[in-house]
Structure 1
Amino acid sequence: MTQASATPTEFAPGLTIRGITLPMKLSNFKLIAFDMDSTLINIECVDEIADAVGKKAEVAAITEAAMRGEITDFKDSLRRRVALLRGVTIADMERVYTERLRINPGAAELIRSCKAVGMKVLLVSGGFTFFSEQVRQTLGIDFTRANVLEMEDGPHGKQLTGRLVDQFWGDICDGAEKRRTLLEVASLLGIAPSECIAMGDGANDLPMMGAAGLSVAYHAKPAVREQAMVAINEGGLDRLLEVLR
Structure 2
Amino acid sequence: MSFDVICFDCDSTLSKIEGIDELARRVGLGDEMSRLTDAAMNGEVLLEAVYEKRLSLIRPDRDSINWLADLYIEQLVDGVKEVFEALTAPGKELHIISGGIRQAILPLARCLGLPEAQVHAVDIYFNADDSYRDYDQSSPLARSGGKAEICRRLLKSQGSLVMIGDGKTDMEAKQAGAFVIGFGGVVDRPVVREQADFYSAEPSLVSILAHIL
Q: Please classify the TM superposition score into its range, dividing by the shorter chain length.
A: 0.7 to 0.9
Partner of 1:151: 126
Partner of 1:181: 150
Runs of 4+ in 1 over 4 A off after TM superposition: none
Higher helix content, 1 or 2:
2
* Contact in 1 for aligned 2:98/2:141 (Cα 8 Å): no
* Contact in 2 for aligned 1:67/1:203 (Cα 8 Å): yes
In structure 2, what is the Cα distance between the partners aligned to 1:114 and 1:191? 20
Partner of 1:160: 132
- How many residue pairs get matched? 207
Tell me: CA distance 1:210–1:165, structure 2 relative to 1, closer, same or farther (3 Å). Answer: closer
Which AA in structure 1 matches 2:146? E
Partner of 1:241: 209
Which residue among 184, 190, 197 is the counterpart of 1:222? 190
Higher strand content, 1 or 2:
1
1:221 Cα deviation from its structure 2 partner: 1.2
- Normalising by structure 2, report the TM-score: 0.87
Tell me: CA distance 1:148–1:243, structure 2 relative to 1, closer, same or farther (3 Å). Answer: closer
Tell me: CA distance 1:79–1:209, structure 2 relative to 1, closer, same or farther (3 Å). Answer: same
Partner of 1:110: 83
Which residue among 60, 85, 95 is the counterpart of 1:122? 95
Deviations, residues 139-168 of structure 1 (Å, cap 9, x unaligned): 122411111122124xxx41223x31245x
* Contact in 2 for aligned 1:165/1:171 (Cα 8 Å): no
Tell me: CA distance 1:191–1:136, structure 2 relative to 1, closer, same or farther (3 Å). Answer: farther
Kindly name which structure, 1 or 2, has the bigger radius of gyration based on alpha carbons.
Answer: 1
In structure 1, what is the Cα distance between the partners aligned to 2:108 and 2:121? 12
Which residue among 56, 79, 82 is the counterpart of 2:52? 79
Partner of 1:15: none
Task: Give 1:19-58 correspondences, 5 Å limit.
Answer: 24=1, 28-58=2-32
Deviations, residues 56-110 of structure 1 (Å, cap 9, x unaligned): 1111110011111111x21121111111112x33223322333465221111111
Could you list the runs of 5+ residues in structure 2 that have no partner in the other structure?
Answer: none
Which AA in structure 1 matches 2:81? A
Tell me: CA distance 1:122–1:173, structure 2 relative to 1, closer, same or farther (3 Å). Answer: farther
Kindly report the root-mean-square deviation, in angstroms, between the aligned alpha carbons of the 2 structures: 2.0
In structure 1, what is the Cα distance between the partners aligned to 2:126 and 2:167? 27
Deviations, residues 13-66 of structure 1 (Å, cap 9, x unaligned): xxxxxxxxxxx4xxx211101111111111111111112211111111100111
Which AA in structure 2 matches 1:229? D
Tell me: CA distance 1:182–1:158, structure 2 relative to 1, closer, same or farther (3 Å). Answer: same
- Normalising by structure 1, report the TM-score: 0.77
* Contact in 2 for aligned 1:85/1:160 (Cα 8 Å): no
Could you list the runs of 5+ residues in structure 1 that have no partner in the other structure?
Answer: 1-23
Deviations, residues 186-217 of structure 1 (Å, cap 9, x unaligned): 23xx543xx21111111111111453453111
Which AA in structure 2 matches 1:165? D
Which residue among 160, 165, 168 is the counterpart of 1:203? 168
Question: Does 2:113 align with 1:140?
Answer: yes
Partner of 1:89: 61
Identity level (%): 25
